């Protein structure tokens, strides 16, 4: 039995709580499930008013945000040494068709969407929420054979990466366009 049952919630900062709730409802059909607002931080007792909002991301998953009006303006969701594409929240959808309908809805309102990107085992699109957080919608496309092949090489890949800091070739089939599963 695993120590962790599931992720209770994931929290990010947002620029505007109301705008964030409305955006996630409109584009990703997430229900607004809870708001907590206090004038001091419960854990540290620091005086700092905040609005903490919680959204239902499906399957018992909760996405939360803090609006912090007394803090300097949020400049970027990532630090200066981390590329903007790195830190993101990937959300699973049931199909490529669902993903593409969300893409159309976003683009119809002028929101830039990158993709779809074919990762062989899933397809995805990328876009940003009103606070600048990078989001990914992903639709799985892997076969059982693909998943088993990746499972067989994961430790070898990780150990090679740890030694060399160069991309291992164990799962080259995912990126070479051949689609042929093979060992390195």
Q: What is the largest CA-CA distance in the chain?
A: 58
Tell the burial category of 24 from Cβ atoms under 10 Å away from its Cβ (0-12, 13-18, 19+).
buried
pTM of the model: 0.88
Q: Write out pLDDT tens, residues 124-167.
A: 999 999 999 999 999 999 999 999 999 999 998 888 889 998 88
Which structure tokens are listed for 139? 């639709």
CA distance linking residue 157 with residue 105, whole number of Å? 38
pLDDT tens digits for range 89-133: 999 999 999 999 999 999 999 999 999 999 999 999 999 999 999
Using 50, 70 and 90 to split pLDDT, how confident is the model at 173? Answer: confident
Tokens for 75? 């400049």
Which pLDDT belongs to residue 184?
Answer: 46
């Amino acid at each position: 039995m695993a120590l962790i049952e599931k992720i209770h919630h994931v929290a990010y900062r947002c620029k505007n709580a109301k705008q964030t709730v409305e955006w996630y409802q409109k584009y990703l059909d997430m229900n607004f499930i809870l708001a907590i607002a206090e004038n001091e931080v419960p854990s540290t007792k620091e005086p700092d008013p905040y609005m903490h909002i919680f959204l239902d991301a499906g399957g018992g998953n909760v996405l939360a945000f803090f609006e912090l009006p007394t803090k300097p303006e949020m400049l970027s969701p990532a630090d200066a040494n981390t590329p903007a594409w790195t830190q993101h929240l990937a959300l699973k959808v049931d199909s490529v068709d669902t993903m593409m309908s969300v893409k159309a809805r976003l683009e119809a309102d002028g929101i830039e969407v990158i993709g779809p990107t074919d990762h062989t085992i899933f397809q995805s699109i990328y876009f940003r929420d009103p606070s600048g957080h990078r989001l990914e919608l992903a639709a799985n496309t892997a076969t059982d054979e693909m998943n088993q092949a990746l499972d067989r090489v994961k430790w070898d890949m990780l150990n090679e990466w740890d030694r060399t800091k160069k991309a291992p070739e164990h799962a080259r089939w995912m990126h070479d366009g051949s689609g042929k599963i093979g060992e390195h």
